[in-house]
Chains A and B, each alone.
Chain A
Amino acid sequence: MSGALRYAAALGLAVMAALAGCTNDPYPAADAVEKILYQPFDDPPKTLDPQVAYSVVDHMVIGYVYDTLLGYHYLKRPFTLIPGMAEQVPEGRPVGGGRVAYRFRLRPDLRFQEDPCFSLSGAGARSRQVVADDIAFSLARVGDPAVGSPVLEALGKITGLVAFGKRIEERRKSDPAFAALRIDAQYRAAGPIEGIRVLGEREVEIVLDDAYPQILYWFAMPFTSPVPWEAVATYTGEGGADSFAEHPVGSGPFVLARYDKRSRIVLQRNEQWYGVLHPEWKAPAATYPSEGAPGDAEEGLLDPAYVGRPLPFLSRIELRREKEPIPTFTKFLQGYYDASGVIKESFDRVIQKGDLSPDMRTLGIHLARSVEPAISYLGFNMDDPVVGAKRGDRSRKLRQAMSLAIDSKEFLRLFANGRGIPAQTPLPPGIFGYDAEYANPFRQPDLERAAALLDEAGYPGGIDPSTGRPLHLTFDAGDTGAAALLQFQFYTSAWRRLGLDVEVAATSYNQFQDKVRRGAYQIFTWGWVADYPDPENFLFLLWSPMGRTHGGGPNTANYSNPRYDELFVRMKAMSDGPERLRVIDEMREILQQDRPWIENYYPERYALYHGWVENEKPAGLSLPTAKYLDIDAAERALLRVAWNEPITWPAYALLGLVVVVVAPGIVTFLRERQ
């Protein structure tokens, strides 16, 4: 009997000891004082090949590992390009035949991160300088069909890039010996690309077939980042080698230190980055900016403690996989993530009357609101015999009436907690041509005017005279989920008030895409997120050569208006200024009357940051901004402890309960045995 008691006492002591050292901290204790940014991610990255990667989570990693020739100013809005690895932002220079050339000059002493693959270019070499040939190599990869870059459409404007792709594909097919060559030898053997001229070790000229000023934005994205050919040649994914898509070798401010893409990704500060090697250059993309947008100074974004200091401030970025939003948010509140979005489930707890709730404020959390350069819209298939262009004025008035019936503000209130701005034109805030004062006369909900327009269109009270019943239309959707269905019902019930009988035809996304290919759709909803902050990137969604049904382009409305097309081509080649604004305004007028779209809303992002995060400014675009952030690790460590006081009494209570229940049993058992 005394033996049993001794066991129980030992067990109790062990449990108490375990509880005393108990913590919910998911990170090693040694990391607590380091400047580490903790962020969650949801789906794992698909690829880390900079010429291929397109999704936000891919760019969350690549944006730091691969540096770009140009970058965006961290604070200024609308977005402004600044030089990155290039010494300055080049100007277009006409070179005859409508062609335009851009000359990039690289900074000296740019280095790739250390990697064993460089032994290909010199025995024992661990790294080497970034040269103009690397830019040419990356652009050639964009043109190479075997790489499968999604941006060839835009970068194909570089003279000879598409032809190069065709050439290399044919030679690979016809000549097995060629296909077996190392990748750099293949590119050399396939012949030079006319529009990419390497003028020296540090200078490269890009020639475009026609004027396309937006090309510069592509040089602020990882698609054009220099890639060492040694890495592509080494990491083929064959014969036990890593795949290049999983083993990036770049020249950016951080290097990939660990890549368990289903659980944990670690980015470590790159000691070879030019900003770290040469802080004396005060390079714009490697120094904290000294000027910003109006209001930034009040927000504390121009703190003299940071202005002019070399980047990055962080020593490490830790990305952890989180599949469920609620636990992620809880960990944020416990201090284990530094930033978070506002999840729908806790919205009313976090945001009250359009601002942070007092609870959140006492935690020292601050809220950053930003309208994303994106739009969600409802579109009409302009090829359709009823709602489309063929019926001329009649269908135009129908579209105008339907546009007047949709109350986007109410929609946002119901489905997005009011996060978003009712859209008036295809151009969201932050994009040149956006006008906060402009109110589209057909986007102010007005059922009476809508009814009058329907009358004029020949559908009095929504009645189709040919059947004597309400005009029957279909809303084609590629989502059968109940949550999406409710949103579609919001639109259809608005139109029902006009007397239009709009049926929701919800199918799977694949079936919907098939319908779109066949042109068998009437009304749809779609969205667009900017690749780069230029009006061209939105207005091309209605340019007729981009027509979906005929050309497979993103103009799902199949909108075609000669005047609009003409203006678009003019606007595309212009640089920002009053002239361009005038053209954009005329395009806006055309869309306002024609209504191929019902512009629904520009989504707004609410981001929460803990008080120990310094210098945060949300960008909307998925830009690698963490190099500007700083962390007060000491404050974070203190608050984490204070917020995660373990509550131990339930464990003791449970233990006590177990003793009370089990002890008599043991006693009885022992007595019986005796």
Chain B
Amino acid sequence: MQPHVVSNVVVLSLVGGGLLALLRLRRSPLWREAGAELVRRRPVALAVVGVFVLLALLDSVRWQGGDAAAAGADAVARFEARSLVDRLFSDDFRERSYSAPLAAEEFYGNAPLRHPGRHVLGTDILGRDVLHLTLKGARVALLVGGFTSLIVIPLALLTGICAGYFGRRVDDAFFFVSSTLASMPGLLLLIALIIVLGRGPVQVCLALGVTSWVGFARVARGETLKLRELDFVHAARALGVSEGRILVRHILPNLAHLVIITFVLLFSGLVLSEATLSWLGIGIDGSWGQMIDQARDELSRDPIVWWNLAAASVALFGLVLSVNLVGDAVRDVLDPRTLRERR
């Protein structure tokens, strides 16, 4: 099966799953109330995150063929799966080189542009529309944040809970592994892993996953150590409930708030880590980090070429800030203590 078909299936199932979950949650008054409270507290941040998610989804739905490509100068594009975002910009929508936002002529040499005044954020050194590149960066950022979290959280939960609950040898093994990983400089480990695994989105996500699960696993272990001594766990054990059931019914749900908080903190951290990796030349193609890296020597040009860097930085900053704000609000809303205060 071709990669874009897989990607479409994944996106559709994600959207379907999300909608289903939303519908189920709406039935529970607790969650409905929490949702309303969240919207009330952080409407702007939520909207920004929503826009980025929507962009990422639109950029993930891809198919071959279609109208715009046929007319374009790029003969290969016709055979490539192009996303909805790509289809907003025709292949011909490019210049020969740099042009400032909304400019009518080239930045160097003053030759007239093919599309004067239509490049809202200007064009880069190869004449590509910066707005287009920036919008496409959203998908990469969410892929890095989302996919890596999908690796990190289950891994950290599994190891952390087992270590905390079973103790002894399991705990020793967990501590050995996690201390070893934590004692290596994170960036060096990342670089080494990427050299071993090769470059590419999945490899970068895996490498980021390996280097960032330890922190959350330790938190999960600590929380489990506390939970397993609580009365209801003792009671369950006295009643002869199996270990697996205790873990799933009593321990795991009590870690749910930690999962959400970790997810949010991790997400923004990962997006930023990817930018660092791109800056070192081992990131993912098309990410905002790469755009910033490419803009490195544009800043020292005279006159300065600022729009590439500005577009990527603002997008990165906007996403990370609003995810953090939303995360903060989610924690507050779900915390029983603040719930009581609200009432």
**Chain A proximity of B198: nearest CB distance (Å):** 8
**Chain A proximity of B325: nearest CB distance (Å):** 30
**Chain A proximity of B117: nearest CB distance (Å):** 22
B278's partner among A482, A493, A496 (CB-CB below 8 A) is A482
Determine whether B28 belongs to the interface, using a CB cutoff of 8 Å to chain A. Answer: no
Q: Given A482-B290, A496-B74, decide whether A414 and B125 contact each other with a Cβ distance below 8 A.
A: yes
Interface class of chain B by DSSP? loop
Q: Is the CB of B96 within 8 A of A486?
A: no
In the complex, chain A residues 396-410 whose Cβ is within 8 Å of any chain B Cβ: 410
B294: A residues at CB distance < 8 A: 482-483, 485-486
Q: Which of A31-39, A314-322, A341-349, A420-428 contacts B (4 or more CB under 8 A)?
A: A341-349
Determine whether B76 belongs to the interface, using a CB cutoff of 8 Å to chain A. Answer: yes
A486: B residues at CB distance < 8 A: 124-126, 294
Q: Is the CB of A483 within 8 A of B297?
A: yes
A523-544 interface bits toward B, Cβ cutoff 8 Å, 1 = contact, 0 = none: 0000000000000000000000
Q: Is the CB of A501 within 8 A of B126?
A: no
Q: Is the CB of B281 within 8 A of A482?
A: yes
* A480 vs B126: C-alpha distance when bound (angstroms): 18
Q: Is the CB of B76 within 8 A of A344?
A: no
Q: Which of B169-177, B252-260, B299-307, B313-321 contacts A (4 or more CB under 8 A)?
A: B299-307
Determine whether A470 belongs to the interface, using a CB cutoff of 8 Å to chain B. Answer: yes
A506's partner among B126, B199, B293 (CB-CB below 8 A) is B199
B300: A residues at CB distance < 8 A: 326, 345
Name the residue on B nearest A348 (C-beta). B302
Determine whether A228 belongs to the interface, using a CB cutoff of 8 Å to chain B. Answer: no
**Chain B proximity of A325: nearest CB distance (Å):** 9
Tier of interface size on chain B? 20 to 34
Q: Is the CB of A470 within 8 A of B75?
A: yes
Determine whether B97 belongs to the interface, using a CB cutoff of 8 Å to chain A. Answer: yes
Name the residue on A nearest B96 (C-beta). A410
Q: Given A413-B97, A486-B126, decide whether A461 and B75 contact each other with a Cβ distance below 8 A.
A: yes
**Chain B proximity of A506: nearest CB distance (Å):** 7
**Chain A proximity of B189: nearest CB distance (Å):** 17
**Chain B proximity of A32: nearest CB distance (Å):** 31
Q: Is the CB of A496 within 8 A of B75?
A: yes
Determine whether B282 belongs to the interface, using a CB cutoff of 8 Å to chain A. Answer: yes
A498: B residues at CB distance < 8 A: 75
A499's partner among B75, B124, B125 (CB-CB below 8 A) is B75
Name the residue on A nearest B278 (C-beta). A482
Q: Is the CB of B76 within 8 A of A490?
A: no
B293: A residues at CB distance < 8 A: 481-482
Determine whether A262 belongs to the interface, using a CB cutoff of 8 Å to chain B. Answer: no
Q: Is the CB of B76 within 8 A of A496?
A: yes
Q: Given A346-B302, A493-B126, A501-B76, decide whether A480 and B108 contact each other with a Cβ distance below 8 A.
A: no
Determine whether A388 belongs to the interface, using a CB cutoff of 8 Å to chain B. Answer: no
B265-295 interface bits toward A, Cβ cutoff 8 Å, 1 = contact, 0 = none: 0000000000000100110010000100110
Name the residue on A nearest B108 (C-beta). A348
B74's partner among A410, A485, A497 (CB-CB below 8 A) is A497
A226-262 interface bits toward B, Cβ cutoff 8 Å, 1 = contact, 0 = none: 0000000000000000000000000000000000000
Determine whether B41 belongs to the interface, using a CB cutoff of 8 Å to chain A. Answer: no
* A413 vs B125: C-alpha distance when bound (angstroms): 11
A485: B residues at CB distance < 8 A: 285, 294
**Chain A proximity of B283: nearest CB distance (Å):** 9
B199: A residues at CB distance < 8 A: 480, 506-507
* A75 vs B123: C-alpha distance when bound (angstroms): 45
In the complex, chain A residues 540-576 whose Cβ is within 8 Å of any chain B Cβ: none
Determine whether A182 belongs to the interface, using a CB cutoff of 8 Å to chain B. Answer: no
Q: Is the CB of B282 within 8 A of A344?
A: no
A462's partner among B75, B80, B97, B290 (CB-CB below 8 A) is B75
In the complex, chain A residues 474-527 whose Cβ is within 8 Å of any chain B Cβ: 480-483, 485-486, 489-490, 493, 496-501, 506-508
Determine whether B51 belongs to the interface, using a CB cutoff of 8 Å to chain A. Answer: no
* A174 vs B104: C-alpha distance when bound (angstroms): 78
B195: A residues at CB distance < 8 A: 508
Determine whether B79 belongs to the interface, using a CB cutoff of 8 Å to chain A. Answer: yes
**Chain A proximity of B94: nearest CB distance (Å):** 9
* A415 vs B301: C-alpha distance when bound (angstroms): 13
Determine whether B150 belongs to the interface, using a CB cutoff of 8 Å to chain A. Answer: no
Name the residue on A nearest B300 (C-beta). A345
* A461 vs B75: C-alpha distance when bound (angstroms): 8
**Chain B proximity of A348: nearest CB distance (Å):** 6
Interface centre among B76, B108, B297, B301 (most CB of A within 10 A): B76
Q: Is the CB of B282 within 8 A of A497?
A: no
Q: Given A348-B302, A483-B294, A507-B199, decide whether A470 and B76 contact each other with a Cβ distance below 8 A.
A: yes
Determine whether A469 belongs to the interface, using a CB cutoff of 8 Å to chain B. Answer: yes
**Chain A proximity of B286: nearest CB distance (Å):** 11
Interface centre among A461, A499, A500, A507 (most CB of B within 10 A): A499
Determine whether B132 belongs to the interface, using a CB cutoff of 8 Å to chain A. Answer: no
B97: A residues at CB distance < 8 A: 413-414
Q: Is the CB of A345 within 8 A of B96?
A: no
Q: Is the CB of B281 within 8 A of A481?
A: yes
- Given A345-B302, A482-B296, 6 more A-B residue pairs with CB atoms under 8 Å apart are A414-B125, A470-B76, A482-B290, A486-B126, A501-B80, A507-B199
Which A residues have a C-beta under 8 Å from some C-beta of B? 326, 344-349, 410, 413-415, 461-462, 469-470, 480-483, 485-486, 489-490, 493, 496-501, 506-508
A–B complex contacts, Cβ < 8 Å, 13 sampled? A345-B297, A347-B302, A348-B303, A410-B96, A413-B109, A462-B75, A470-B79, A480-B199, A480-B282, A481-B293, A482-B278, A482-B294, A496-B75
Which B residues have a C-beta under 8 Å from some C-beta of A? 73-77, 79-80, 96-97, 108-109, 124-126, 195, 199, 278, 281-282, 285, 290, 293-294, 296-297, 300-303
